[in-house]
Amino acid sequence: MQTPLIWNPILRQHLVNAPHRMNRREGASSCAFCADITEGKVGPETQVWLHPNDFPPLQPPVGEAYVVIYNRDHHRTFTQLSVDEVNAVTHLWRDLYCDLASRYPTVMIFENSGEAIGQTQHHPHGQAFGVSIIPPTLERELETVVQDEAAVAGFPFCRVAVELAGEVYEVASNGTWQAFLPPYVRYPYETHLYPHRHVANLAGMQDNELHDFAALLLRVVHGYNALYDGAMAPMPYLLGIHQLADERFHLHVEILAIGRAPGKLKYAASSETLWGLWTNDSSPAQKAQELHDAIARIDQ
């Protein structure tokens, strides 16, 4: 089989070519994840589990692909899960990171939420890839870390977190995590979650940090759905955990919320997709305040 990693000699980056995925199951009436329960592949006590991606874009030794099942109940949505239930997910993410990081330099843990951005299975779930290369965005972030080290400028993510903390860009925080809507977001309600502590990846996360991570994640997504009195719910979003084995890296989570106003979506159109030049037609400080206030209302 031809390698699915194709090198673009002009942009000097890889893309994944996976033609077999064109015929993957979409909108099927039976749920492959519920079948894990009915077929006895997971026990009655199991709340969260991994399901091999039945149409993997990557296969060993190039990579591996999994579906992370968030709950046994097909009809629960992420926002209907309790903090403890999401905490079980963050613990599974840590186990998954430790396993995949033993074989691959990159572990991508992510979620596409909402039909507007291509979610085809309704059972609450996310995905994960182990990949034998470092994707362009992480490579760029790592370059920043290396450049700042050479310039004796400290760790960039730690610096940014300190700069944004307690300012207009902070939307929520708890004992070990902070959530920001930085001035450089691409989507109006894009939110970045940082652990206070400099931790490179999930393997370094302590149990209480995973619990706080679960709690903050839920509050931010609930906040999205409370914007404009619920007129933007359910907010479609892309969620990704950025992490690397390199101890200079600082784990963080990016949530690219696709809604830009009630009934309206932000599209990555020509400027963004053809040139990589994003335009954000909103005031990040104002959007941060809106999200901050929406979360504060839920907290009451």
Helix (H) / strand (E) element for 180: namely strand 177-180
**Nearer to Zn ion by C-beta: 33 or 70?**
33
By beta-carbon proximity to Zn ion, the closer residue of 91 and 198 is 198
3-state secondary structure of 163: helix
Residue number, 18 or 34, with CB nearest to Zn ion: 34
In degrees, to the nearest 5, what angle opens at C-alpha 138 toward C-alphas 295 and 161?
40
Find the binder of Zn ion among 33, 49, 169, 177 (CB under 5 A): 33
Work out whether 158 is an interface residue with Zn ion (CB under 5 A): yes
Q: Is 198 in the site for Zn ion (CB under 5 A)?
A: yes
**Distances in Å between the alpha carbon of 126 and those of 83, 87, 88, 114, 136?**
17, 14, 13, 12, 21
Distance in angstroms (rounded) separating the CA atoms of residues 90 and 211: 8
| Distance of closest approach, residue 158 Cβ to Zn ion, in angstroms | 3
Residue nearer to Zn ion on the CB measure, 250 or 292: 250
Q: Cis bond leading into 52, ω under 30°?
A: no
DSSP state string for 19-45: GGGGG---S-SS-HHHHHHHTTSS-TT
Contact with Zn ion (CB under 5 A) among 14, 72, 94, 123: 123
Cβ atoms of residues 157 and 227 within 8 Å: no
Q: How far is the CB of 258 from Zn ion (least distance, A)?
A: 24
Cα separation, 65 vs 53, in Å, equals 5
Q: Is residue 31 involved in binding Zn ion (CB under 5 A)?
A: yes
- Segment near Zn ion (CB under 5 A); pick from 34-42, 54-62, 213-221, 259-267: 34-42
Which member of 49, 78, 157, 213 binds Zn ion (CB under 5 A)?
Answer: 157
Q: Which is nearer to Zn ion, 109 or 251 (CB)?
A: 251
Shortest reach from residue 198's CB to Zn ion, in Å: 4
Q: Which of 16, 73, 74, 127 binds Zn ion (CB under 5 A)?
A: 74
Residues 53, 50: Cα–Cα separation, whole Å: 9
| Piece of 58-66, 79-87, 155-163, 274-282 that binds Zn ion (CB under 5 A) | 155-163
250 binds Zn ion (CB under 5 A): yes
Pairing of strands 177-180, 170-173: antiparallel
Select 31 or 265, whichever has its Cβ closest to Zn ion: 31
Which residues of the chain form contacts with Zn ion (CB under 5 A)? Answer: 31, 33-34, 74, 123, 155, 157-158, 198, 250
